[in-house]
Structure 1
């Protein structure tokens, strides 16, 4: 069963970041469903960057011990002699997981997670069970592994620091295109009528005037004909001291399948084999919810 992400996570997910503002620590957490060792498991890629450190921590949930998470850490050091192309091995429920990465040509655009020209691959039993990045051919050539069941990105959380604009990326459709989300605001101390704009791929879809009265709310917009529910809470921007807390945003896609489609899929799956059951689970997977926490370091 795939996890269900709801807006009740809106506030609890942000509480842990209160101390982040002290060190301006940008973080990105991406949660995937990956088929490893015959089971769907949650795999979290947690990217972290501040003045002193830049790292990736991979956590894989255990099936044998539900409260346990196996992990592997990769340091992205700025020095020229660190292993920008290397690998590590760790165990998950007695399974050997090989983690291969290549950051030699990685491009960054302000986020701890590279934007292009890199890969991180998890290999189990000569099968690629998770692939992050855009250098797919190089992964298979290097590891001599076969493709596994497609992974599912179902949750993304990012903490971003800035003055008046904040960006993140999201995947909302089956084509897995990356959409760029931009949140902009005019909330300077002398502004009489603060405003906020939310754009996706350069198109302003939400424009909030009189933000001091509408600092919490939600709207549904269409992105490539798909409904996306957008929720926001920017009380901290307007009424708290800069950097003491963050503005919060959720981007939650509507379900792509109707109820009748789900019932048909369920009936078909009762007579299918194990492999088709895996494919059925993937086709009914939830869309990715994106949580953006925007920290204003100072007002303009």
Structure 2
């Protein structure tokens, strides 16, 4: 059952194991383009994921950023490693779009404060298939290696990656702890999320029509099932609600001030956070999860920047 929400009010809605829908984040971006100002054009080209891993036995956070420029096929890849306790940047590299003409390669990175320690980044995108978003869908690998141990492996070409790098398998599993994505649409904004390590991948749809509406309504659906509805949005443009996904409490935050009141931007921010013990502050979420990505038991976080196009 859905309930109207007061600003920062909380209710609980159970998400049953309904059949998943065929919607995806690519459907929202497919019709992308420039919104008001330059936000819309840039918005559809950036995805950042944070992974919990171990570097030479100590906890670390590996961030991987995929970007796409205005030209078809032009893409970029960024990889950074931060200390898991202090958040200190240990190493970083960016593969510029022009270098993707080779579609495969490697880089060695010096690790700050570790003498002659190095991190190696390998990638092969020569056969990668891309959707409308910046991330490859299949036919690729990105591998991060340290001390001949696989720190992070992405893609569906694991055998090729291990053969190329000569790395051994990690002693601990690498976990996806946060994802930040830009999605574009006019009325409906779509994404996907897996809220727990071995859980199902769920379809998320955010629907809000603010064009010419005196009393716009915000609705969020998971696997086509409505789980949250906010009426009188002009008064409730920021808030939060707790839902249950796969039996796990997920706190949903929203800030649609940009959609309703800004003359310079047409973006809104949504966050889905699995950890219950939260300080309910949008600024806290930005700084703690993406600006200072220490490992502090935040659970999984999905941060969506939703850009409205005319």
Q: Give your verdict on TM over 0.5.
A: yes
Distance 1:49 1:98 in 2: 23
Distance 1:224 1:180 in 2: 13
* Residue-by-residue CA offset, 1:24-49 (whole Å, 9 max, x unaligned): 24321212222112211122112222
Of 71, 83, 89, 2:108 maps to 89
1:62–1:69 CA contact under 8 A, matched in 2: yes
Compute the displacement of 1:20 (Å): 6.1
Change (3 A) 1:150 1:294: same
* Residue-by-residue CA offset, 1:17-73 (whole Å, 9 max, x unaligned): x99617524321212222112211122112222315521111112589964441112
Of 38, 53, 60, 1:34 maps to 53
Q: How big is the alpha-carbon RMSD for the aligned residues of Structure 1 and Structure 2?
A: 3.2
Of 72, 79, 90, 1:58 maps to 79
Q: Counterpart of 1:126?
A: 148
Distance 1:255 1:230 in 2: 11
Which consecutive unaligned segments of at least 5 residues does structure 2 have?
Answer: 1-7, 9-35, 278-294
Are 1:251 and 2:269 matched, yes or no? no
Q: Counterpart of 1:287?
A: 299
Compute the displacement of 1:146 (Å): 1.6
Distance 2:196 2:104 in 1: 31
Change (3 A) 1:109 1:187: farther
Are 1:238 and 2:260 matched, yes or no? yes
Are 1:143 and 2:165 matched, yes or no? yes
Of 177, 190, 197, 1:167 maps to 190
Count of residue pairs the alignment pairs up:
252
Are 1:46 and 2:65 matched, yes or no? yes
Q: Counterpart of 1:259?
A: none
Compute the displacement of 1:84 (Å): 1.7
* Residue-by-residue CA offset, 1:139-160 (whole Å, 9 max, x unaligned): 2233332211211222222223
Which consecutive unaligned segments of at least 5 residues does structure 1 have?
Answer: 1-6, 8-17, 257-281
Considering Cα pairs closer than 8 Å and 6+ residues apart, tell me whether 1 or 2 has the greater RCO: 2
Change (3 A) 1:115 1:169: farther
2:60–2:83 CA contact under 8 A, matched in 1: yes
Distance 1:68 1:213 in 2: 40
* Residue-by-residue CA offset, 1:232-262 (whole Å, 9 max, x unaligned): 1112112223x61521111011369xxxxxx
Question: What TM-score do the two structures reach when normalised by structure 2?
Answer: 0.70
Change (3 A) 1:64 1:221: closer
Question: What TM-score do the two structures reach when normalised by structure 1?
Answer: 0.72
Distance 1:64 1:216 in 2: 31
